[in-house]
Amino acid sequence: MKPIRPDPVSKRVTTAVDQTLTCIIEGLDSNYPVWVTWTDAEGEIISTQDYPNYEITQERVYVNGSQSSLLTIRQYKLQSFAGSSSFKFGCSAESTQYQGSPPSNPISVHAEVLKLEVITLNAKSLTGTETKLTCEILGLTRKLESLRWTTSRGADITNNVLGYSTDAPGYFNGTSQTTTLKIAAEQNDGSTSYNCVVASYEHGVKELSTAVIFKNNIGWTAVTRDELIPFPLESTSLEIRTDSRLGSGDTVAVFFYEGTSLTSSGGVYISFSSTPRYLIYYCTSSYTDFPVTLPSTTDKIWRITLTRSSGVRVTIHCNNEEVANVLLSDTSCDDSMRYFWNRETAYIMFSGSDTASDYYREAKYSSNQIYCTWPGIVTSVKYSN
C-alpha cells in the first residue's frame, strides 16, 4: 500500500453548502479494500453514524489498485468554520489484507474557507463622456447563478438597454468572475451609482447588490501633465483628486510658476508610500512623514493652500482634514532655496512624473477666507492680507 494522499492537496470550500473531502489510497490488491478512518479538526474520530454532521463513503478498489474515501461535511457542521480562514481533517487507512497491521500514519486534508467578496472599480470619466464600470466577485469555485447590472433605482440594464452595454454574466476564471458595464456618453449624466447584483448558490446568497460608484466630475478638470495652467493660487486653494492606494508608490507632483517664462515659485510633492509623505519643493530636499494619520478612504481630495498674511505658509488638507501646516522659515527650509517662494504664483504645472493626480479644480472657497462649520450651517468671514 502506497502512502495516502488527499485530492486535492488543499480544497477551496464555502460554508453555505455541503462540502466533500477526499483521501486516495493507491497500490492495493483489488480484492482487499482498506478501511479509512477520518478525524475532525480537533483530532477526534468521526463516527460513521454521525449523520447530522457527516457522511463517509468508502469506495471499492479500482482495477488500477486505487481506492477513494469521501467525507461529506454537512452545511450544519460547516457553519462552525464560518469565521475561520481554513481548517483541516485527517484520514488514515487500515489494511484488510494484512490482519493486525497497524493503521497508516494519518495525513491532513486541508480546506481553505472562501469568503464572497465583491470588488468594484469606480469610473473616473467626466460627465457626458463614455465610461466603464467593473465588478469582480472573488471567492468562487463555480460560476455564479446570476450576475447582472441595475441602475441605482433598481431598473435592470443587463440586456443591453439603450445607452448601456454589458458582458454580464462576464468571465469566470475558476476563482473569480468579472463583468463590465459601459455607459454611453449620452447616458452619462453624473448619476451617483449603478448596482452589481450577484446570486451564488455555493455561498447561499440569493441576491447581493453592491453599488459601483460613478464619480460625479462636474466642476473638475482632468489633469494634463507638463502643461502650464493658469491658476490663482495666491487667492484660491488648489484641490487635487486622487484614488491611489497607500503603498502604491504613486506621487502627486505639482509645480508653481510666476509666469509663462517658467520662473519657479515653489511646488508640492505627495508620496503614496506605505508611510505617506510630503515634500515642499524649494524648501527641503527630502520628504517628511505626515504628522497625522490620513483618512482611510482610497478616494482623496487634497487641498493645497498658500497664504502670506504672516510669512509664507503652505497648508495641506486631505478630505477636509488638515494633515500638514508648514511656515516657511530658516528652521523649516534650506535658506538657499526658500526665496523661490517669495515670488507670486500665477500658474501651475503637473509634472510628467505625477502618477496620482486625476482631476483638479479651484477650491469652493478662496484661501483668504475662514470657514466655520456647524451641522447644516456654513458661514464664511473674509479678511484681507
Dump pLDDT digits (tens) for 123-150: 566 666 778 889 999 999 999 999 999 9
Residue with cell 447590472: 149
Minimum mean pLDDT range among 48-57, 69-78, 186-195: 186-195
**Which pLDDT value is given to residue 371?**
33
Residues 29 and 130 reside in one and the same domain: no
Residues 353 and 247 reside in one and the same domain: yes
Side-chain half-sphere of 110: how many Cα atoms within 13 Å?
5
**Which pLDDT value is given to residue 104?**
86
Residues 106 and 176 reside in one and the same domain: no
* CATH number of the domain that residue 328 is part of: 2.60.120.200
Q: Is the peptide bond before 375 cis (omega within 30 degrees of 0)?
A: no
Minimum mean pLDDT range among 130-134, 203-207, 324-328, 349-353: 130-134
8 Å CB contact between 18 and 54: no
Which residues, listed in sequence order, are joined to residue 289 by a DSSP beta bridge? 277
Residues 241 and 375 reside in one and the same domain: yes
Asked whether residue 270 carries a pLDDT value surpassing 80, the answer given is: yes
Cβ contacts of residue 154 below 8 Å, gap of 6+?
195
CA dihedral angle for residue 56, residue 60, residue 62, residue 66, rounded to 10 degrees: 50
- How far apart, in whole angstroms, are the C-alpha atoms of residue 218 and residue 190? 8
Q: Which of 89, 113, 137 is the last residue of a domain?
A: 113
Residues 31 and 88 reside in one and the same domain: yes
Q: Which of 113, 129, 161 is the last residue of a domain?
A: 113
Residues 334 and 247 reside in one and the same domain: yes
Q: What is the pLDDT of residues 87-131, one digit of tens each?
A: 999 999 988 888 778 888 888 999 999 999 998 876 566 666 778
Query: What is the domain extent for residue 168?
Result: 117-213
Residues 133 and 280 reside in one and the same domain: no
Which residues, listed in sequence order, are joined to residue 68 by a DSSP beta bridge? 24
pLDDT, mean of residues 176-195: 81
Query: CA separation (Å) from 194 to 133, 148, 239, 296?
Result: 9, 11, 27, 23
The set of cell numbers assigned to 57 is: 463513503
Count of the separate structural domains present in the chain = 3
8 Å CB contact between 350 and 224: yes
8 Å CB contact between 212 and 193: yes
Residues 344 and 304 reside in one and the same domain: yes
Q: Which of 184, 213, 242 is the last residue of a domain?
A: 213
Residues 164 and 234 reside in one and the same domain: no
**Which pLDDT value is given to residue 100?**
77
Neighbours of 128 (CB within 10 A): 14
Residues 244 and 341 reside in one and the same domain: yes
- How far apart, in whole angstroms, are the C-alpha atoms of residue 194 and residue 183? 10
* CATH number of the domain that residue 106 is part of: 2.60.40.10
Q: Number of helices and strands (H, E) in the chain?
A: 2, 30
List the 359-366 sheet strands across, edge first: 221-222, 359-366, 236-242, 300-307, 313-318, 321-327
Residues 69 and 128 reside in one and the same domain: no
Residues 166 and 23 reside in one and the same domain: no
List the 205-213 sheet strands across, edge first: 146-151, 193-200, 205-213
- How far apart, in whole angstroms, are the C-alpha atoms of residue 358 and residue 377? 30
Asked whether residue 2 carries a pLDDT value surpassing 70, the answer given is: no
Neighbours of 101 (CB within 10 A): 11
